Chain A
Amino acid sequence: DQQVKQNSPSLSVQEGRISILNCDYTNSMFDYFLWYKKYPAEGPTFLISISSIKDKNEDGRFTVFLNKSAKHLSLHIVPSQPGDSAVYFCAAAELPGNDMRFGAGTRLTVKP
């Protein structure tokens, strides 16, 4: 069962503009959410996380927003850079360290 869904398989934006990647989940027990970035032939690398007690977490150019009532989170990248081009995975868990469920990923392409 797909408990974490990333409905957009790909996204293309212009350098300097905002990238918005979306993620929906179905399990109301999820309380911990993360975004990972993956370059080709490499393993995913942790980007940013948020717990359910917050609705926003910011780290430099990256901001994650959480809407628990809608079971939706999004990752904003501002400004987008060509080096941000990668596959972004959304992940969720009931507790940090527990079985983490991943979405299928969104391939972001940032054009110069």
Chain B
Amino acid sequence: EAGVVQSPRYKIIEKKQPVAFWCNPISGHNTLYWYRQNLGQGPELLIRYENEEAVDDSQLPKDRFSAERLKGVDSTLKIQPAELGDSAVYLCASSLSPGELFFGEGSRLTVL
């Protein structure tokens, strides 16, 4: 069974540029999460989807971040415009049953 797939693995952009990350969850997993992990810290939840509905986006900086999960499968996370402080690893995770999350390898963003 394929795991959670994320792309790109690495992205380097200049500040004020837009960037997008893509996530394909494990087949059949209806819950999808986007986390951000800063260096030396644990992952922090940005948004959680149940199917195509965002049920928890309280920690998503909505002025520059947006996310969508069309058809309740793949998801994209966009940052526009990016700031220096957005440099981090963006992790996507999915789950079938509550609790056990399966994470992708992450997308490492560097903003110069």
> Which residues of A approach B to under 8 Å, CB–CB?
4, 6, 9, 32, 34, 36, 41-46, 49, 89, 91, 93, 95-105
Contact = CB atoms under 8 A, between A and B. Distances in A.
Looking at chain A's contact residues, the main secondary structure is loop
Looking at chain B's contact residues, the main secondary structure is loop
A34 B40 CA distance: 19
Nearest to B45: A99
Contacts, number: 59
The residue among A36, A43, A49, A99 with the most chain B CB atoms within 10 A of its own CB is A43
23 contacts: A4-B42, A6-B42, A9-B40, A41-B105, A43-B93, A43-B106, A44-B101, A45-B102, A49-B100, A95-B98, A96-B97, A96-B99, A97-B31, A97-B97, A98-B98, A99-B45, A99-B56, A99-B59, A101-B42, A102-B42, A105-B40, A105-B41, A105-B42
Nearest to A41: B105
Given A97-B95, A97-B97, A104-B40, 7 more contacts: A4-B42, A6-B42, A43-B91, A43-B103, A43-B104, A91-B42, A103-B42
A43 B107 CA distance: 10
B105 A43 contact: yes
Counting chain B residues whose Cβ lies within 8 A of the other chain, the interface size class is: 20 to 34
| Across the A-B interface, the 3 shortest Cβ-Cβ residue pairs | A97-B98, A102-B42, A43-B103
Nearest to B4: A43
Contacts of A4: 42
